[in-house]
Amino acid sequence: MVGLAVLAVMYVAAPLLGFQPLPEALQQPLLNILPGPVFGFLIDTLQHAGKVLEELGIIAGLVVLAGLAGALFARLRRPAPDAADSGRRHLLTLAVGGASIAVLGIRLIPGWAQSILHPAEAGLEGTLSPELTPPGHFYVVSKNFADPVVAEAGWRLEVGGRVARPQSLDYAALKALPATSEYVTLECISNDVGGNLISTGRFTGVSLRDLIALASPAPDATAANFTAADGYTETLPVAVIQASPEILVAYELDGAPLPNEHGFPARILIPGRYGMKGPKWLQRITLADTAVGGYWEGEGWDPNASVRTTARIDVPANGSVVHLTGAEVGGVAYAGKRGIRSVEVSSDGGHTWSQADVKPPLSPFTWVVWRLAWRPAAEGSYTLVVRARDGSGALQSPATSGSFPSGAGGYHSVQVTVGR
């Protein structure tokens, strides 16, 4: 029970005193020893629940270790308390343990329940996705048990390393630079086929190419290494940045400052790459002759993280009953900067395909919304399947694969029943 009490005090005091509770401090070392394929399997299977179970497992492990240490200490001392003293200690232990569990529950369970049962992106389930995701429903994924909160006052973005003119920009100075706004679809690399860890927003910021040019990189500065307030690291070749003016240091989402969960004051945004390539809560950009490597690359994920072509059925929902008179089938499709040429739907197991109507994208960097008026031939059970072709005409891969290490693959399908 002493271990529970110590953890309860840690979780209460941490936000007040500005330190990490021990479970949070142990998170990264434990991830470092977990094999990448195992971690990928857990993410694919558990999604948001995975991080909750990880934190709960660390807490349980620490309590068990503390209990074993206490039992060993008591055994070494070999005390012989009288019955009354033993009874009082037992009651005190129960009281402390109960209070500690209550404190931990109040502190942690609401956040756990929210992340599992009501994640931001779940608010749009059961409807045809809008072209532009409302900011409150933009998907949220983080490696952290508790994200950093970075205040505008005192924050600076440092651009240095192998440069002739190092830059140190506060929030106002960053916003004073020539800005651009882009419609961009962002997808998590751990998004399942048909999953909702994908959203589209209007981001505003400074072109990373232009920002780096202000610092006058040295000729041998071939890598831009990023560091974030939560210790997250990423890297991009300077050649890629110079060829991609659309890569942003973004500070606004849909006309408002980035919400904290999306990286306020600023984040890296790379159209066509999975979200893992764009650090939130950005602090430093260091130009160097070597890449430091990214956080998730260190766990075995694909360092390129280029998005795979994917299509999703939003309506009808899986398990729906639709009328024989027909139903609208619709959803979204995305292929990064390659764009989407066409979307096709099958209701007979892939033997025949019908072409859907595809609405033009908001920009070259976004998903498309597609629709098909489907008239079933008869009553019964059907499996609706969707696939997309990218802008080059290449068909998305039908091979089913998990998200580790390069993003999930395969066709999305839903089961529906047709009745009168």
What pLDDT score does 248 carry? 98
Distance in angstroms (rounded) separating the CA atoms of residues 97 and 90: 10
- The token pair at 78 is 């070999």
Distance in angstroms (rounded) separating the CA atoms of residues 378 and 212: 61
93 domain residue, yes or no: yes
Q: Both 178 and 147 in a single domain?
A: yes
Instruction: Give the domain range for residue 327.
Output: 310-419
Q: Both 176 and 228 in a single domain?
A: yes
- Among 250, 266, 299, residue at a domain's last position: 299
Name the packing angle between helices 83-117 and 2-17 (round to 10°).
Answer: 50
| pLDDT > 70 fraction of the chain, expressed in percent and rounded | 93
| Structural domains counted in the chain | 3
| Mean of per-residue pLDDT scores for the chain | 90
Q: Both 89 and 190 in a single domain?
A: no
129 domain residue, yes or no: no
Q: Which residue has the higher pLDDT, 97 or 340?
A: 340
For residue 170, with 0-12 CB atoms within 10 Å meaning exposed, 13-18 middle and 19 or more buried, which class applies? middle
130 domain residue, yes or no: no
- The token pair at 75 is 């055994």
In the block, residue with structure tokens 């849909």 = 254
Q: Both 294 and 315 in a single domain?
A: no
Contacts of 94 (CB under 8 A, 6+ apart): 1
- The token pair at 264 is 């306020």
pLDDT tops 80 at residue 50: no
pLDDT tens-place string over residues 372-389:
999 998 999 999 999 999
For every residue of 243-269, DSSP letters joined together read: T-TT-EEEEEETTEEPPGGGTTT-EEE
What pLDDT score does 33 carry? 76
- Among 251, 273, 299, residue at a domain's last position: 299
Q: Both 103 and 7 in a single domain?
A: yes
Q: Both 276 and 345 in a single domain?
A: no
Distance in angstroms (rounded) separating the CA atoms of residues 302 and 336: 16
pLDDT tens-place string over residues 337-376:
999 999 999 999 889 999 999 999 999 999 999 999 999 9
Q: Would the pTM count as exceeding 0.75? A: yes
Integer angstrom CA distances of residue 142 from 119, 220, 260, 276, 299: 12, 33, 11, 9, 15
325 domain residue, yes or no: yes
Q: In angstroms, how far is the first alpha carbon of the chain from the final one?
A: 61
pLDDT tens-place string over residues 190-244:
999 999 999 999 999 999 999 999 999 999 999 999 999 999 999 999 999 999 9
pLDDT tens-place string over residues 295-323:
889 888 999 999 999 999 999 999 999 99
